[in-house]
Amino acid sequence: MNSKQWFERAQKVIPGGVNSPVRAFNGVGGTPVYFKSGKGATVQTEDGTELIDFCGSWGPLILGHAREEIVEVVAKTAADGLTFGANTAQETQFAELLNTLVPSIEMSRLVSSGTEAVMTAIRLARGYTGRRKILKFEGCYHGHSDYLLVASGSGLLTGGISSSAGVSPSATEEVFVAPYNDLAAVQEILKANGDEIAAVIVEPMAGNMGLVKPVAGFLEGLRAATADSGTLLIFDEVINGFRLGPTTYGNLTGITPDLTTLGKIIGGGMPIGALGGSTKIMSHLAPLGPVYQAGTLSGNPVAVAAGMKTLELLRDENPYPKMEALGKRLADGIHRLATEKDLDLHCAQYGGMFTPFFRTAPVHNLDDSKACDQKAHARYFHHMLDAGFYTPPSGFEVAFVSAAHTQADIDGFIQAFENL
């Protein structure tokens, strides 16, 4: 059976045929590709084709598919027991490693997804401050919990909906929304309502409306304004933690949030999430404090082993300069061609992250991202797919260069782009 046949069969028993909406290709049209196996930068499909993968499972696979050391440690750990629901030594070692790599994370709690990490961080912020409201940014995605499905990014943009049915208005009423990179708007909201706002949550390098960098002074300004109003600052680093260096983006920039949420890379391909911060704040979590959180599979030994090995490899091998160089080569190549062919396009890139935005002007917020030509993105996506390159099937996502990509992969990508 090929992808088309599998997709037809899936639609009868899985809503939309997918277990996560963006996989349905609604943003680009056509039939979703069924993956069979992956190794390094390449995947094999049910159609018998081989693709160079720039999606990397939406972020976790910074070391490429089925990296040998990770597969080995997963197999070995699994053989010793898949789950205990009791403590293991490696959970402590993992928390110690996080603390070493991200000093502001004095204590951390493991959960099973990014959504769960953020949901818990919000509850903790409310419990800690005794305040009800939160502030988020348009186009930032923080998982699919109720409070955070207001003006969200990622799959919610592709679906053409800015929020979700089934979310109680009482949840969203407690959420202020500001445009990304608009510090003045945040300062105004905090000035008027700061004493009701438990937390400001932000993707310090936004990755769910395409790649949008923080403008100079934005994160510093958030830090100062939240400190003034006694509001916690949460950096949601589920997508960019350990992406740009063997630490968080907050730590790289020297801006210390009160809480950090992590996921994706820190599980090495297994389901995981984490939240962390100072001992003072984290001590409000159960069983030490009154903010409840629990999980049958939290700190799962196989996920912890895969994550630990991934972080160790990233620390020891430091593939970041290579990914940065390849990312820059790719973006430079695309810009050269866009100029030559007079395309309305701008490729945002930072380290190994990139998004070709189909408009020339840089993208600073959700309105800019929405102003891009989605039809042109869909044409680009299918053209690249036909040429053997898999990129995220949505114009509101980030593509990733992993440590497993080679210069030949990048040059092949640019060459394929040339015929667009």
Ligand X SMILES: *Cc1c(COP(=O)(O)O)cnc(C)c1O
User: Using CB under 6 A as the criterion, which residues of the chain lie in contact with ligand X when the complex forms?
Assistant: 113-115, 118, 141-143, 203, 207-208, 236, 238-239, 263, 273
- What are all long-range contacts of 188-191, with beta carbons under 8 Å and residues at least 24 apart? 189/135, 190/135, 190/225, 190/226, 190/228, 190/229, 190/231, 191/229
Taking the complex as a whole, the smallest distance from the CB of residue 142 to ligand X amounts, in Å, to 5
Residue 264 bears catalytic tag: yes
Q: Nearer Cβ to ligand X, position 203 or 258? A: 203
Rounded distance between C-alpha atoms, residue 54 and residue 31, angstroms? 18
Taking the complex as a whole, the smallest distance from the CB of residue 30 to ligand X amounts, in Å, to 23
Q: Nearer Cβ to ligand X, position 333 or 392? A: 392
Query: Containing H/E element for 409?
Result: helix 407-418
Active-site residue, selected from the candidate residues 128, 141, 180, 350: 141
Q: Nearer Cβ to ligand X, position 129 or 208? A: 208
Rounded distance between C-alpha atoms, residue 122 and residue 116, angstroms? 10
What strands lie across the sheet with 107-111, from one edge to the other? 107-111, 273-277, 259-262, 232-236, 197-202, 133-137, 175-178
Taking the complex as a whole, the smallest distance from the CB of residue 263 to ligand X amounts, in Å, to 4
389-390/50-53 β-pairing: parallel
Taking the complex as a whole, the smallest distance from the CB of residue 388 to ligand X amounts, in Å, to 26
Rounded distance between C-alpha atoms, residue 416 and residue 385, angstroms? 10
- Residue 285 pairs with which residues in a beta bridge? 291
133-137/50-53 β-pairing: unpaired
- Closest residue to ligand X using C-beta atoms: 114
Taking the complex as a whole, the smallest distance from the CB of residue 155 to ligand X amounts, in Å, to 10
Sheet strands (E) in 1-154: 35-39, 42-45, 50-53, 107-111, 133-137
Taking the complex as a whole, the smallest distance from the CB of residue 138 to ligand X amounts, in Å, to 14
Positive or negative CA dihedral for 56, 61, 62, 66? negative
Q: Nearer Cβ to ligand X, position 263 or 333? A: 263
Rounded distance between C-alpha atoms, residue 229 and residue 39, angstroms? 49
Q: Nearer Cβ to ligand X, position 115 or 260? A: 115
- Compute how many other C-beta atoms are within 10 angstroms of the C-beta atom of residue 178: 24
Q: Nearer Cβ to ligand X, position 262 or 372? A: 262
- Compute how many other C-beta atoms are within 10 angstroms of the C-beta atom of residue 415: 12
Active-site residue, selected from the candidate residues 53, 236, 258, 409: 236
The single-letter DSSP state of residue 362 is -
Q: Nearer Cβ to ligand X, position 127 or 263? A: 263
Rounded distance between C-alpha atoms, residue 343 and residue 170, angstroms? 45
Taking the complex as a whole, the smallest distance from the CB of residue 264 to ligand X amounts, in Å, to 6
Active-site residue, selected from the candidate residues 133, 213, 264, 309: 264
Give per-residue burial for 49-86: e unless 16+ CB within 10 Å, then b: bebbbbbbebbbbbbbbbbeebeebbeebeeeeeeeee
- The catalytic residue positions are 141, 236, 264
